[in-house]
């Protein structure tokens, strides 16, 4: 254990960041790394619990107390080894993970969790800086060929694990760059994309082949041909089918899916020419009154992006009621609690409103001009279910030049690969496979990540990728030494 | 006389006994019949030390040994027309013959045949006349035919001793084969042929009799022709009640009160001598006698066998006893050199028979008695002016007028009382021993033949400190031996830094090894045994003087050789060898004497052979061992240094056990020493198991390599040798702790003693490598052990990415991914808490589902069981309501001190609301909690625990209880004491524990008033007297044999017994004990139920189970296995907010439970409702299952093991070998035998003197009027004053009555526990003497014992009270006009006492009060004393060498202080109140205080010594020494400073 009484003596401190005024002016990461000594001090707050709830709170089961202790003892390199033993990409999760581990931290009973995410990020950043992170090519090749479809976090984690087990892995990506949602869903100010490139290089050195601009089922390569060429196929294509808002005015110019908006900006940021970045026309918030519909992380990303583009105002609407400021720890801890979460983007000046529905979009010359909505309340019905009810006199109108729909995703895209293959789907429209062997209804075909589990966190995607790799390896070799 | 056969989990081998022993002898050897009558009277007066079983007419056996009744036999011979030779030329074989006539005829013929074959003659058979009047039916049914064979010596026999040797050879040949013959010849009962005695000098009359029946049954004993100069008698208290005539004592040479803990090893070692033992005296006859000690006998029978062979081999009686039970010589600076050399010399010949023992022995010429090295049994004797010696377990068993007694004394630890009837005198201990020690030049012999490893030259530059291999090789080695990160984090690093065995908290919730998915080390299949009830554990720290780690690395000299010859021996001061040490042994051949030849045997096998190769490798190793011994190698080194990518190491324990037993079977083991060189052992437990199976020394080379790596990598500020030294120290301390738990004090007798249960090993494997270790549930064999080993090897050398640069995480001590499975996980803890807080039974079901579902992960034995539903389930509405079921639930013993007041009271309120019971734990209870709160709630704990520290155990505490629980052991650390560090003792805790804030408190490992089963019976009786309404409960921990102990507990009249599983545990304990001591409750509970039912004892005792109960299913399985009630600790704590931090030992509990830190305590959020929800949810689940099983009432379900099956489909690679049939065995039900608690015990309280006192004291009790009472008292009047004190405490609380309100004057000898818990206001004034436990738990009363005026003895040399006086005394005064036994004022909290001398361990663990000793003390005074003060009159100026100075300072007496000190701090002439003895500031006013106390002593006792001292006060003062504990002084100074500051602040 780091320091038995550290949690009583040391205050929680987290990374610093640029003030909103400053950060709204650039696209760089604005959260500042914490000096090593301070990280070490924060690590001393870890109590090395007999049951480390963080460990379970974390979907990849990061061995948090172990690396906290090592960081406290200044044994960063060992800490990195331990960290990598459960997580292929801690530099991603160290930046963009909502950190369910911290919610589960024992010190969070008093709202003072260990700054686990910061420590994680420090370890891996230091690892890269010191040159400790090198490719780990397999000792022996198995001669087995595996195709991984999709290069988001699930596909990448899966590919890296399989390559390290000695398999010949090819990753297929429909976009022009590797990374999936990691690259095109997450704004640069939350995570700069050179971090992805660095991992790609490592993976290439470990033997992974990346093929971009290949959409399976849409072009030359069909599911069948993929199966012919490979001993196993992993589908990790994500859950990209956005939830729509079928109200009058949805078709208006200026009403867009959040992802269309975010991808454009990310491509722009990566240096793509506008024609490539926005082949169907640019969407920009510059000078506009922006309304983001949907109160989740994607919505937040839209807010931050809009401010950086120079939005005049940003309002975020949520259909559900405002969650409590502080959760009832007695009934939620160590689980991920429903509570009011204020993101960095919110601090940059967005207004938020809850329990509102959108009735229609008002137009001016085919362009959206305003959103007409209504207040609702949520009450328990006779059957015990909570139902939505209009609040009398709650109608309102909101100025809106740009409306971004960030209401979540319904599952993987059906056209193309899935329809072509005839894979069985589960009740929620995801590819049917369990989390033990990850096998789909087709022989040799596995599914992992959002494509299997539905919309979720990057860290869940990494977990699925790793576990799926182990399942594929077992399938190919009879047993597997890959850790889950 | 058939014993109940081994069945289910019951095994007659586990039976224990203890008892009362005594003798009377005429020193001058004058034989008389009257002396026999006196002996029998002793027996009757010891009756209360024995026991009766379910049938009050069936005792446990009693008997009497006398000298050869020559006149009686002449009478018989004359009548039979035979010619009896002169005494010494004939022998009498007392025979218990089979009842079956054919078998009996055969047996008699067998006797004749062997006698004739050996050249002697049978003169005839004499029927022993018996009278069955008054015997119980079962006794008569099992009664053997009792006849004496009279054997005459042939002329070839030259003397009586030669004849004795011959008849020994005859007896061995007759008896050693009868079992085999019974089967071969189909002669039922032949195997029971037994000879209680066969001697030319003595005859034993014994049987399954009650004490008074010995006389009535054996007419010989009433026949005036029967004469003897000695009578040795014994009354047995056995844990079981199966009729057995032959288990009664005396045996042929001795009678025993106590227990031989090391008996398994002693018997093995005796067997191992077969080829090395020879005797000029016995010659060829020796070979006919094997086995010298047959297996399957009682421990006493075994030591009797050992004694007789030593005597036959030419040792004198006293000499042989000194070899078998040596005094603690190794660490005794006061022992003279010759005697030390004597003991050291014989240490190599005979490993001590270790355990608490008072043994009376005789060969018919001499009679004597000796005590074990620690003096753990009482023995008192008197010498009369008409040449009689009367010795017994108690004083007063044979009343003799005081004026006729010339000397009253006691046996002292390791000391011997010897009376030579031929010489006609008592030979003093010093004289016997000096004579024997100087008979041979032992010191010279040692000089010539003994080599100490430390003194041998280094083997050259091969030795030295470990040079760690390159990182990768080291990692591979660590992985091949299964090292985990936890080994480093929790064991090696702390040990390297602190030199201590590390501590953890909250028990264990991982699967036992056989159920684990992980490859577990073989050590994990062994659970340490520990002493409970039948013998006491030892405190290896405070009583270090009896402990020794010395090991002798074979070969062992000829036991019966009487010269040193050229038998060289190699001694090590402790068994852990550094690499340099091992190198010395490896190169020992080069020593010039040519004494030693070492052979190294490779214990690795080729990886290419796979798992199947291991068994072959073990066979190869054994073969090579035999070859090496036959080639004259006398040290074998089993080495796995060959480990590498291509060689797999056989588990070191397997190799060791296999070779050890292989060599024993071949009779070669004694010719060779066994040394283990292995990378595998690293924890204390590992070394212990290796030692238990024969390793005399161990070199853990990889542990050393790893320590060095840790040192460098983690930058420890220590040198390499310091790290090694600390580690070796930690292991040594740990080993001592483990062996002391069993009451064993030396490594040498622990070595090979096999003090373990196997859990999850197949019988086949055990029989071959761990012969005769109990294995109850079967399990893995060679192949699975090999698979586990291969798996570790693969982890090291295969390309598993996880193990590329990391050790396995372990996950045993904390939950981890890829680690061991746990019952308590983030998921289960979270669900349970959400359920009870959110009132959601649905969530609770989710919680229990996760725990109960063991289809994927196995956690517990009960997980392998399934419930057998009824054909006709009952509707749930008809099932007993939950509100009634919860009354069977209790929370576990957690002390206020270990947990916060908030947590403690929350549990109490919850349990009181639902009618269940909460438990105080050790440490008292604040008396404000006895009052009901305004809202009707009560914080009073229904169960009051009485643990070894007796903290806060006052009469008031006891009367405020529904149950009084004697904690014999606790699941997390059975056999160990505890320690509350000073920093946790804040003012509140100190107040309820009657101690000083800031001073650490020690709970000793044993209860110092329970060293055996009859002692427990006494304590039960004491507690019952204090509070007759409360149930008395005894808490035991599951281990093989616990059922037998439980049967004993039931016979000792406990109302309730708790069987705890090893999993349990909510406090801090050494990790070694937490994980490796005790076994799962399923095993212990099932054994308990089976044994109690077999004995017909089940109905009168309630059985509770605890230790890891978590769900309704657990409760139902517990009930079906036989539990009436259920204890929960961890689960309700979790309901109240515990999150299994496992940091209880650090006081940093972040949820305010296991902490006293006010900041953290404020974080406690648990409520009684949470706890209540938990218990009701459990009860609801129980009801659902009861409905399915078809039970309407809970009581119907108890013991219905027929409703449990083993899971049919266990496919686990290891668990599939588990066989639950012994656990699920059902004792054939008989309608009259209860299988659940339905009766009450009869405590015989109606016989107590206190009934009279209470009646007479009515005016005092009701109106506080003074009362005077006069009465006689005898040794059978036990626990006098206690029931009366309970009455006082009920009415007046701890404050009691005004001083001296009830004054009781008594004359005679008081029985045990005189004045126990005596309340304030009562004075017991005894003229005479008293037995053990006087003033135990004294609660404010006054006890005076003074010598009668007619006695003409010097009180300073006269024992007046027994052992363990004032144990746990809280307040009050005691004055003793004579000498006390051992452990005077042990754990005294506040009593003030004056005594005129005391035995060893005086003032041990004392935490408060004032003790004055006016005469000599024994050794180890003030060991573990952390508070209070003592004054010792040190006339000879030798006290310093007798005092244990580890924690105390000795000071001169401060002169009287003149001037005006604060008068409130000065000592007063009278006590101020029950809380304040009036002794003033303990750091000052010594002279005043001493004077007051000695004046009071004179006043109450009329002591001559007191008068002399007062008459010459100035000189007397100069000879007094003050004993002050250092911590106590520091704490008092701190308090004083605090008060000064407060005053200053107030003044400002």
Asked whether the beta carbons of residue A52 and residue B801 sit closer than 8 angstroms, the reply is no
> Is B19 tagged catalytic?
yes
Is residue A90 a contact partner of residue A64, using CB atoms and an 8 Å limit? no
**For residue B1301, what pLDDT is reported?**
97
Q: What is the DSSP letter of B335?
A: S
More confident residue, A77 or B1461: A77
Q: Chain A: which residues have CB within 8 Å of chain B?
A: 4-5, 7-8, 47-53, 55-57, 61, 63, 65-66, 73, 75, 81-82, 85-86, 104, 106-107, 109-110, 139-140, 164-165, 330-335, 481-483
Q: What is the mean pLDDT of residues B643-660?
A: 97
CA separation, residue B48 to residues A426, B24, B43, B59, B740 (Å)? 77, 19, 10, 11, 29
Q: B830–A49: do the CB atoms touch at under 8 Å?
A: no
Chain B residue at shortest CA distance from A334? B830
CA distance B1483 to B1528: 10
A50/B1146 CB distance under 8 A: no
Residue of A nearest to B1139 (CA): A51
Q: What are phi and psi of B224, to 5 degrees?
A: -60, -20
Contact call for B822 and A51, based on CB within 8 A: yes
Contacts of residue A48 in chain B, CB cutoff 8 Å? 814
Spatial separation of the C-alpha atoms in residues B952 and B961, rounded to whole Å:
13
Share of chain A above pLDDT 70, in %: 100
* The pLDDT of residue B518 is above 50: yes
C-alpha to C-alpha distance for B1175 and B1111, rounded to whole angstroms: 10
Q: What is the predicted pLDDT for the residue at B68?
A: 98
Kindly give the pairing relationship between strand B756-758 and strand B774-775: parallel
Q: What value does the mean pLDDT take over residues B1373-1392? A: 97
* Residue of chain A whose alpha carbon sits nearest to that of B1146: A4
- The fraction of chain B above a pLDDT of 70, given in percent, is 97
Asked if A27 contacts A269 with a C-beta cutoff of 8 angstroms, the reply is yes
The verdict on whether omega for the bond into residue B291 sits within 30 degrees of 0, i.e. cis, is yes
Residues of A in contact with B830 (CB under 8 A): 53, 333-335
| pLDDT given for residue A114 in this prediction | 97
State the angle between helix axes of B299-312 and B317-324 in degrees (0 to 180), rounded to the nearest 10. Answer: 130
Q: Give the Cα separation of A388 and A385 in Å (integer).
A: 10
Residue B2's pLDDT is 41
So what's the pLDDT on residue B1307? 97
Q: Cα–Cα distance between B526 and B760 in angstroms, integer?
A: 9
Q: Residue B444 has which token pair?
A: 């010279």
Q: Is B856 on the interface with A (CB under 8 A)?
A: no
B1121 or B374: which leads in pLDDT:
B1121
Give the 3-state secondary structure of B1334-1397.
CCCCCEEEEEEEECCCCCCCCHHHCECCCCCCCCCCCEEEEEECCECCCCCCCCCCCCEEEECC
| Separation CA B366–CA B346 (nearest Å) | 22
Q: Coil, strand or helix: which one is B1022? A: helix
Q: What is the nearest CA distance from A482 to chain B, expressed in angstroms?
A: 7
Three-state DSSP state, B94: strand
Residue of A nearest to B812 (CA): A50
Across B310-387, where does the E strand assignment appear? Answer: 357-362, 366-371, 380-384
At residue A200's C-alpha, the angle toward residues A197 and A206, to 5°, is 150
| Residue in chain A lying closest to B505 (CA) | A50
pLDDT tens digits, one per residue of B179-238: 899 999 999 889 989 999 999 999 999 999 999 999 999 999 999 999 999 999 999 887
| Banded model confidence at residue B268, pLDDT cuts 50, 70, 90 | confident
Nearest to B1055 by CA among B921, B911, B1243, B1198: B1243
Task: Report the 10 Å Cβ neighbour count for B688.
Answer: 28
- Point out the catalytic residue in the list B19, B302, B769, B1398: B19
Give the pLDDT of residue B460.
65
Query: Residue B463: its pLDDT value, please?
Result: 47
Say which residue, B1011 or B1118, is predicted with more confidence: B1118
pLDDT at B1: 34
The alpha-carbon gap from B1142 to the nearest alpha carbon of chain A, in Å, equals 5
Q: Measured between CB atoms, does B506 come within 8 Å of chain A?
A: yes
- Radius of gyration of chain A from Cα atoms? 23
CB B951 within 8 A of CB B993: yes
Q: According to the model, what pLDDT value does residue B49 have?
A: 77
Instruction: Report the mean per-residue pLDDT for chain B.
Output: 92
User: What does the alpha-carbon distance between residue B1477 and residue B1472 come to, in Å, rounded to a whole number?
Assistant: 6
Q: How far is residue A459's CA from residue A469's CA, in Å, rounded to a whole number?
A: 15
B348 vs chain A: nearest CA distance in angstroms? 46
**Average pLDDT of the residues in A418-423:** 91
| pLDDT for B457 | 83
Nearest-CA residue of chain B relative to A481? B800
**Among candidate residues B90, B95, B83, the one with its CA nearest the CA of residue B68:** B90
Query: In a mutagenesis test of the B interface, which of A3, A51, A110, A483 is the best target, namely the one with the most B β-carbons within 10 Å?
Result: A51
As given in the structure block, the two tokens for residue B933 are: 């709160």
Chain B residue closest in CA terms to A140 = B799
- Report DSSP state, residue A435: T
According to DSSP H, which parts of B186-284 are helical? Answer: 211-217, 219-222, 263-272
> Regarding beta strands A232-235 and A209-211, do their DSSP bridges make them parallel or antiparallel, or are they unpaired?
unpaired
Angle between helices B337-347 and B442-449 (to 10 degrees): 50
Q: Write the pLDDT tens digit of every residue in B1237-1261.
A: 988 888 889 999 999 999 999 999 9
Residues, chain B: 1548
B1340 vs B1319: CA distance, rounded Å:
5
Name the minimum distance, in Å, from the CA of A57 to any CA of chain B: 8
Q: Rounded distance, CA B304 to CA B172, Å?
A: 13
Q: Look at residue B1169 and give its three-state secondary structure.
A: helix
pLDDT single digits (tens) B389-420? 999 999 999 999 999 999 999 999 989 999 99
**From the candidates B830, B836, B1154, which should be mutated to test the interface with A, based on the most A CB atoms within 10 A?**
B830
Gap from A30 CA to chain B (nearest CA, Å): 33
- Checking if the pLDDT of B672 tops 80, the result is yes
| Closest CA–CA distance from residue B1180 to any residue of chain A (Å) | 22
For A264-296, what is each residue's pLDDT tens digit? 999 999 999 999 999 999 999 999 999 999 999
CA distance A245 to A372: 13
Q: Which of residues 797-836 of B touch A (CB under 8 A)?
A: 798-802, 805-806, 809, 813-818, 822, 824-827, 829-830, 833-834
B882/chain A closest Cα distance in angstroms: 25
Q: Cβ contacts (< 8 Å) between B824 and chain A: which residues?
A: 51
> Does residue B89 contact residue B172 with C-beta atoms inside 8 Å?
no
Nearest Cβ partner for B830 among A52, A55, A334: A334
Closest residue of chain A to B794, computed from CA coordinates? A481
Q: Calculate mean pLDDT across residues B830-856.
A: 94
DSSP letters for B506-537: S---SPPGGG-SS---GGGGEEE----SSS--
Candidates B799, B826, B1151; nearest CB to A139:
B799
pTM: 0.93
**Region A329-334 average pLDDT:** 94
Q: What is the pLDDT of residues A184-200, one digit of tens each?
A: 999 999 999 999 999 99
Beta-carbon separation of B814 and A49 below 8 A: yes
Least reliable range by pLDDT among A424-438, B72-86, B1353-1367, B1466-1480? B1466-1480
B1158 at interface of A, judged by CB pairs closer than 8 A: no
Name the token pair of B986: 């804040």
Pick B1143's closest partner by Cβ from A47, A53, A57.
A47
Instruction: Tell me: pLDDT of B111 over 80.
Output: yes
B1148 touches chain A (CB under 8 A): yes
Residue B749 pLDDT:
87
Q: Determine the residue among A1, A7, A50 to mutate to test chain B binding: the one whose Cβ has the most chain B Cβ atoms within 10 Å.
A: A50
* Omega before B1302 within 30 of 0, i.e. cis: no
pLDDT surpassing 90 at residue B742: no
Q: Which of residues 481-500 of B touch A (CB under 8 A)?
A: 485
Is A303:A285 a contact under the CB 8 Å cutoff?
A: no
pLDDT at A94: 97
- The minimum CA-CA distance between B821 and chain A, rounded to whole Å, is 12
Q: Would the pLDDT of B1211 be above 70?
A: yes
């Amino acid at each position: 254990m780091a320091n038995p009484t550290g949690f009583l003596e040391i205050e929680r401190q987290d990374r610093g960041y640029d003030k909103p005024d400053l950060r709204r002016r650039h696209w760089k990461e604005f959260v500042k790394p914490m000096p090593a000594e301070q990280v070490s001090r924060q690590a001393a707050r870890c109590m090395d619990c007999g049951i480390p709830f963080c460990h379970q709170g974390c979907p990849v089961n990061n061995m948090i107390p172990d690396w906290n202790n090592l960081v406290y003892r200044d044994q960063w390199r060992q800490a990195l080894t331990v960290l990598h033993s459960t997580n292929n990409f801690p530099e991603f999760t160290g930046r963009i993970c909502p950190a369910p581990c911290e919610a589960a931290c024992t010190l969070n009973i008093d709202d003072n969790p260990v700054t686990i995410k910061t420590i994680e990020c420090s370890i891996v950043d230091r690892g890269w800086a010191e040159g400790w992170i090198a490719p780990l090519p397999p000792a022996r090749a198995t001669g087995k060929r595996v195709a991984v479809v999709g290069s988001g976090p699930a596909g990448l984690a899966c590919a890296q694990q399989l390559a390290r087990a000695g398999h010949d892995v090819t990753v297929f990506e429909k976009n022009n760059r590797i990374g999936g949602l990691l690259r095109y869903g997450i704004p640069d100010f939350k995570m700069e994309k050179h971090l992805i490139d660095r991992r790609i290089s490592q993976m290439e050195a470990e033997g992974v082949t990346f093929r971009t601009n290949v959409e399976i089922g849409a072009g030359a390569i069909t599911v069948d041909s993929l199966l012919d060429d490979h001993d196993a196929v992993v589908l990790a294509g994500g859950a990209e089918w956005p939830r729509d808002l079928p109200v009058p005015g949805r078709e208006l110019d200026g009403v867009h899916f959040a992802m269309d908006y975010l991808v454009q900006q990310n491509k722009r940021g990566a240096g793509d020419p506008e024609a490539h970045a926005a082949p169907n026309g640019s969407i920009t918030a510059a000078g506009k009154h922006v309304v983001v519909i949907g109160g989740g992380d994607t919505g937040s990303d839209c807010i931050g992006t809009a401010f950086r583009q120079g939005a005049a105002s940003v309002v975020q609407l949520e259909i559900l009621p405002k969650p409590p400021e502080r959760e009832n720890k007695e009934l939620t801890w160590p689980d991920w609690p429903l509570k009011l979460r204020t993101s960095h983007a919110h601090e940059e000046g967005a207004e938020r409103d809850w329990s509102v529905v959108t009735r229609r979009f008002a137009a001016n010359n085919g362009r959206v001009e305003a959103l007409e909505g209504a207040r609702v309340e949520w009450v328990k019905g006779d059957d015990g279910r909570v139902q939505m009810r209009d609040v009398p006199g709650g109608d309102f109108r909101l100025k809106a030049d740009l409306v971004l729909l960030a209401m979540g995703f319904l599952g993987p895209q059906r056209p193309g690969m899935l329809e072509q293959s005839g894979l069985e789907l589960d009740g929620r429209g995801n590819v049917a496979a369990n989390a033990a062997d990850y096998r789909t209804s087709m022989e040799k075909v596995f599914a992992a990540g959002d494509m299997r589990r539905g919309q979720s966190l990057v860290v869940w995607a990494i977990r699925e990728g790793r576990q799926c790799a182990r399942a594929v390896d077992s399938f190919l070799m009879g047993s597997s030494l890959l850790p889950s | 006389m058939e014993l109940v056969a081994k069945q289910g989990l019951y095994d007659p081998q586990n039976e224990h006994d203890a008892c009362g022993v005594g003798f009377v002898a005429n020193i001058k050897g004058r034989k008389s019949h009257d002396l026999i009558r006196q002996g029998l009277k002793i027996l009757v007066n010891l009756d209360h030390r024995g026991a009766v079983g379910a049938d009050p007419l069936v005792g446990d056996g009693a008997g009497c040994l006398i000298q050869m009744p020559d006149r009686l036999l002449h009478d018989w011979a004359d009548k039979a027309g035979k010619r009896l030779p002169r005494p010494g030329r004939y022998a009498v074989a007392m025979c218990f013959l089979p009842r079956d006539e054919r078998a009996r005829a055969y047996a008699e013929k067998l006797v004749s045949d062997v006698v004739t074959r050996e050249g002697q003659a049978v003169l005839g058979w004499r029927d022993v006349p018996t009278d069955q009047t008054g015997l119980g039916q079962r006794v008569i049914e099992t009664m053997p035919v009792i006849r004496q064979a009279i054997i005459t010596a042939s002329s070839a026999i030259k003397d009586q001793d030669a004849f004795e040797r011959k008849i020994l050879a005859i007896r061995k040949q007759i008896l050693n084969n009868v079992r085999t013959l019974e089967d071969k010849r189909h002669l039922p009962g032949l195997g029971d042929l037994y000879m209680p005695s066969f001697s030319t000098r003595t005859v034993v009359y014994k049987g399954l009799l009650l004490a008074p029946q010995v006389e009535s049954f054996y007419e010989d004993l009433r026949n005036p022709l029967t004469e003897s100069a000695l009578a040795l008698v014994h009354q047995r208290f056995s844990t079981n009640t199966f009729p057995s005539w032959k288990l009664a004592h005396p045996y042929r040479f001795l009678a025993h009160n106590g227990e031989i803990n090391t008996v398994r090893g002693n018997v093995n070692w005796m067997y191992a001598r077969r080829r090395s033992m020879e005797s000029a005296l016995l010659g060829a006859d020796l070979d006919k006698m094997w086995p010298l000690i047959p297996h399957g006998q009682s421990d006493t029978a075994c030591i009797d066998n050992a004694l007789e062979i030593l005597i036959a081999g030419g040792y004198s009686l006293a000499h042989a006893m000194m070899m078998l039970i040596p005094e603690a010589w190794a660490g005794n600076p006061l022992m003279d050199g010759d005697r030390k050399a004597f003991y050291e010399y014989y240490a190599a010949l005979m490993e001590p028979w270790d355990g608490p023992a008072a043994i009376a022995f005789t060969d018919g010429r001499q009679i004597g008695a000796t005590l074990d090295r620690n003096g753990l049994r009482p023995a008192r004797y008197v010498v009369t002016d008409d040449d009689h010696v009367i010795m017994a377990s108690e004083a007063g068993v044979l009343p003799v007028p005081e004026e006729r007694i010339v000397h009253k004394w006691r046996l002292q630890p390791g000391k011997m009382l010897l009376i030579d009837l031929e010489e006609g005198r008592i030979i003093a201990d010093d004289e016997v021993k000096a004579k024997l020690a100087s008979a041979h030049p032992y010191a010279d012999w040692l000089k010539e033949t003994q080599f100490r490893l430390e003194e041998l030259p280094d083997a050259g530059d091969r030795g030295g400190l470990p040079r760690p291999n390159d990182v990768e090789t080291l990692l591979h080695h660590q992985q091949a031996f299964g090292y985990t990160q936890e080994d480093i984090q929790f064991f090696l690093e702390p040990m390297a830094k602190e030199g201590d065995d590390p501590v953890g908290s909250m028990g264990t919730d991982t699967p036992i090894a056989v159920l684990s998915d992980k490859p577990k080390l073989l050590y994990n299949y062994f659970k340490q045994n520990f002493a409970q009830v039948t013998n006491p554990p030892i405190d290896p720290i405070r009583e270090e003087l009896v402990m020794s780690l010395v090991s002798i690395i074979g070969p062992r000299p000829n036991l019966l050789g009487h010269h040193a010859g050229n038998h060289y021996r190699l001694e090590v001061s402790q068994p852990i060898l550094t690499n340099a040490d091992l190198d010395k042994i490896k190169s020992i051949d080069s020593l010039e004497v040519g004494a030693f030849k070492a052979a190294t045997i490779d214990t690795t096998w080729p990886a290419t052979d796979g798992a199947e190769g291991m068994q072959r490798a073990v066979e190869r190793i054994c073969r090579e061992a035999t070859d090496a011994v036959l080639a004259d190698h006398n040290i074998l080194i089993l080495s796995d240094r060959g480990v590498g990518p291509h060689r797999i190491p056989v588990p070191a324990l397997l190799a060791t056990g296999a070779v050890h037993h292989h060599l024993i079977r071949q009779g070669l083991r004694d010719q060779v020493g066994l040394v283990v060189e292995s990378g595998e052992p690293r924890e204390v437990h590992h070394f212990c198991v290796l030692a238990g199976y024969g390793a005399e020394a161990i070199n853990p080379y990889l542990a050393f390599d790893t320590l060095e790596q840790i040192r460098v990598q983690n930058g420890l500020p220590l040198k390499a040798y310091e790290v090694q030294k600390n580690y070796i120290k930690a292991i040594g301390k740990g080993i001592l702790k483990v062996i002391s738990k069993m009451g064993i004090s030396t490594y040498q007798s622990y070595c090979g003693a096999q003090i373990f249960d196997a859990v999850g090993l197949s019988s086949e494997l055990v029989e071959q490598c761990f012969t005769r270790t109990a294995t109850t549930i079967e399990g893995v064999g060679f192949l699975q052990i090999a698979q586990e080993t291969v798996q570790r090897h693969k982890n090291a050398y295969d390309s598993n990415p996880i193990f590329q640069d990391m050790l396995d995480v372990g996950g045993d001590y904390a939950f981890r991914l890829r680690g061991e499975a746990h019952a308590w996980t983030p998921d289960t803890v979270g669900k349970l808490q959400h359920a009870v807080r959110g009132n959601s039974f649905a969530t609770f079901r989710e919680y229990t589902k996760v725990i109960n579902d063991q289809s994927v992960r196995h956690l517990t034995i009960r997980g392998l069981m399934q419930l057998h539903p009824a054909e006709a389930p009952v509707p749930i509405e008809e099932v007993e309501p939950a509100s009634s079921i919860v009354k069977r639930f209790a929370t576990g013993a957690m002390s206020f001190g270990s947990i916060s007041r908030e947590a403690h009271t929350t549990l109490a309120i919850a349990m009181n609301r639902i009618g269940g019971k909460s438990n105080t734990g050790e440490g008292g209870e604040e008396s404000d909690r006895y009052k009901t709160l305004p809202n009707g709630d009560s914080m009073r704990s229904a169960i009051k625990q009485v643990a070894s520290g007796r903290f806060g155990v006052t009469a008031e505490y006891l009367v405020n209880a529904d149950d009084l629980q004697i904690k014999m052991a606790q699941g997390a650390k059975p056999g160990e004491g505890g320690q509350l560090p000073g920093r946790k003792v804040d003012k509140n805790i100190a107040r309820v524990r009657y101690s000083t804030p800031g001073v650490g408190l020690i709970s000793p490992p044993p209860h110092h008033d329970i060293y055996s089963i009859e002692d427990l019976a006494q304590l039960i009786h004491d507690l019952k007297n204090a509070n007759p309404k409360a149930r008395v409960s005894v808490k035991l921990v599951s281990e093989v044999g616990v059922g037998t102990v439980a049967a004993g507990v039931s016979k000792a009249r406990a109302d309730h017994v708790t069987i705890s599983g090893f999993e349990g545990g909510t406090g801090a304990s050494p990790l070694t004990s937490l994980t490796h001591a005790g076994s799962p409750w399923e095993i212990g509970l099932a054994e308990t139920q089976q044994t109690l039912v077999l004995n017909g004892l089940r109905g009168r005792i309630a059985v509770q189970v605890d230790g890891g109960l978590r769900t309704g299913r657990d409760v139902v399985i517990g009930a079906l296995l036989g539990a009436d009630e259920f204890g929960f600790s961890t689960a309700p704590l979790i309901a109240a907010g515990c999150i299994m931090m496992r940091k209880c030992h650090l006081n940093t509990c972040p949820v305010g439970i296991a902490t006293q830190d006010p900041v953290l305590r404020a974080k406690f959020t648990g409520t009684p409702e949470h706890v209540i929800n938990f218990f009701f949810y459990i009860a609801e689940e129980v009801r659902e299952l009861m409905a399915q099983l078809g039970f309407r009432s809970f009581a119907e379900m108890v013991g219905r093991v027929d409703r449990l099956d083993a899971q049919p489909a266990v496919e686990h690679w290891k668990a599939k070998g588990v066989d639950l049939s012994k656990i699920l065995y059902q004792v054939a039900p008989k309608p009259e035998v209860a299988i659940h608690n339905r009766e009450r015990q009869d405590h015989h309280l109606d016989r107590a003197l206190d009934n009279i006192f209470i009646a007479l004291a009515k005016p005092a009790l009701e109106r506080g009027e003074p009362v005077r009472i006069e009465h006689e008292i005898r040794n059978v009047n036990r626990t006098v004053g206690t029931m009366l004190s309970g009455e006082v405490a009920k009415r007046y609380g701890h404050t009691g009555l005004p001083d001296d309100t009830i004054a009781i004057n008594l004359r005679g000898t008081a029985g045990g526990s005189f004045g126990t818990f005596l309340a304030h206001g009562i004075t017991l004034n005894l003229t005479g003497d008293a037995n053990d436990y006087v003033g135990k738990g004294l609660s404010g009363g006054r006890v005076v014992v003074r010598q009668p005026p007619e006695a003409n003895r010097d009180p300073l040399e006269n024992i007046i009270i027994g052992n363990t006086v004032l144990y746990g005394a809280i307040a009050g005064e005691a004055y003793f006009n004579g000498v006390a036994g051992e452990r005077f004022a042990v754990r005294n909290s506040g009593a003030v006492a004056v005594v005129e001398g005391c035995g060893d361990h005086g003032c041990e663990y004392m935490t408060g009060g004032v003790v004055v000793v006016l005469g000599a003390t024994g050794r180890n005074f003030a060991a573990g004393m952390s508070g209070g003060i003592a004054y010792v009159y040190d006339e000879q100026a030798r006290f310093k060498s007798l005092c244990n100075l580890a924690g105390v300072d000795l000071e001169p007496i401060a002169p009287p202080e003149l001037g005006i000190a604060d008068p409130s701090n000065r000592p007063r002439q009278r006590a101020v109140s029950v809380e304040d003895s009036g002794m003033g500031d303990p750091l000052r006013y010594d002279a005043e205080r001493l004077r007051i106390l000695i004046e009071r002593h004179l006043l109450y006792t009329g002591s001559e010594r007191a008068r002399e001292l007062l008459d010459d006060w100035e000189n007397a003062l100069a000879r007094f020494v003050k004993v002050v504990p250092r911590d106590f002084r520091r704490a008092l100074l701190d308090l004083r400073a605090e008060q000064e500051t407060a005053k200053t602040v107030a003044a400002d």
